[in-house]
Amino acid sequence: MKSPVTIVRRITLLLLLTLSASFVANAQDDYPSMKKWESFDFASKSITTADMNALEIDDLKLVRGVVFGKHGRVFKDPDIRRFLESRTWFKADPSFQNSALNDTERRNLDVIRIAEAQKHETVQPGDMRLYVDRALTRKKLGTHTNAEWTVLASEIEAIHGKPFAGTPWLQQYFDERYWYTPAAEYNPKSLSDIERKNLTLIDTIQRQARHVAIAPGDMEFFENKLISDAMLRGLSLHELRLLRNEIYARHGRVFKTMWIQQYFGGQPWYDPKEDFKDEEVSGSDKTNVETIVAYENKLHNSISTKPITRALLQGLFVEDVRKMRDEIYARHGKVFKDPWTQKYFASFDWYKANPGYSDGQLSSVEKANLVVINSYEKKAVTAMSTIEG
């Protein structure tokens, strides 16, 4: 028979082992606050606003990760990705689609996302549904990259289902948002007065950050005024084309190029007229068109004849940089595999398809410019890929 001392020692040893195992388990888990939410059935149970408001902003982000993580979504956000990869239940599914989410999960995500938006010191991509009826301020908007400013402004319209066929990367971005449903017929008048004011404020801040004097959407202020070359500096070729066509659009022109028609069809002021004729554009409007065309031609020609510097590219969106890169090839008639890119350049009068194109036709200046553009583009793509929304 074992002595009482031996029994006490064994019990003490067992208790120490149990406590040690518990300590090790807790020490190994860096996310103890997530245990409750990892076991929560988001697919059949509803979370409360009070529960989410009680969480810290970092925990809210991880709870959102749990909802998606149960379906295997792979996140770009390093914090969410690191958390999910540490969970034994997480099985990455690169083919994840938002269609896997049911209505209850979507409602839960709405509660989480609104709680996140309320706790952000400054507005972040994905927050705009909180500001459908709330006016934004410069302080609340904070500072952002060009791509983030574009996403924030576009998000206001995306909430109402606006499609972005003319900007593939932006369309893809919103297609990946669980709440986005493109409208068959988007009506820009569906935006509230507050949303329009928020859009104007974002546009103003973005323009000031880029140091541009004028941008697409501004031609209503120049119906009887002349613009100058100096005012066009800093605009991309894509923006210049929109600015030029805006002059015609404000007279009701219907455009044959689909993406241009879709762009202006999404503007609240656009009133298409089937009987419009180019001759209706006269006076200062006609002069402004000629000024923009001359400036466009100068930029088009410089891409192939003058060295491009990184300073020239600063402030351009990744999609603009890609267009600039592809234009070097397009000037030699390259036929692009990507349908949208091919249609884009085919809409220019100067483009002549050359099935026999080869890179050997590029000049030394063009090759050097491609190196500069590709270097900048890689950096821009990396910056864009971090926007989770």
pLDDT at 8 over 60: no
Higher pLDDT pick, 178 / 30: 178
For residues 135 and 147, give the distance between their C-alpha atoms in angstroms, rounded to a whole number: 22
SS3 content of the chain, % helix, strand, coil (to 5): 60, 0, 40
Name the token pair of 185: 């017929």
pLDDT at 144 over 70: yes
For residues 214 and 14, give the distance between their C-alpha atoms in angstroms, rounded to a whole number: 76
- The pLDDT, as a whole number, for residue 313 is 74
- The pLDDT, as a whole number, for residue 6 is 60
* Chain segment 34-66, per-residue pLDDT in tens: 999 999 999 999 999 999 999 999 999 999 999
Q: Which domains does the chain have, with CATH numbers?
A: 35-119 (1.20.58.1690), 122-210 (1.20.58.1690), 212-302 (1.20.58.1690), 306-384 (1.20.58.1690)
Rounded to two decimals, the pTM is 0.68
| Residues of the chain above pLDDT 90, percent | 59
For residues 42 and 205, give the distance between their C-alpha atoms in angstroms, rounded to a whole number: 39
For residues 91 and 30, give the distance between their C-alpha atoms in angstroms, rounded to a whole number: 19
- The pLDDT, as a whole number, for residue 205 is 92
For residues 31 and 83, the answer to whether their CB atoms sit within 8 Å is yes
Residue 324 CA: distances (Å) to CA of 161, 274, 279, 381: 29, 33, 31, 15
pLDDT at 340 over 80: yes
Name the token pair of 143: 């500072």
Chain-wide mean pLDDT for the chain?
88
pLDDT at 311 over 70: no
Which is nearest to 111 in space by CA: 58, 51, 69, 155? 51
Determine whether 84 is exposed, middle or buried from the number of CB atoms within 10 Å of its CB (0-12, 13-18, 19+).
buried
Which is nearest to 327 in space by CA: 309, 308, 314, 315? 308
| CB-based burial, 47-65: b 16+ in 10 Å, e otherwise | beeeebeebeeeebbbbbb
Q: What is the mean pLDDT of residues 195-203?
A: 95
- The pLDDT, as a whole number, for residue 215 is 86
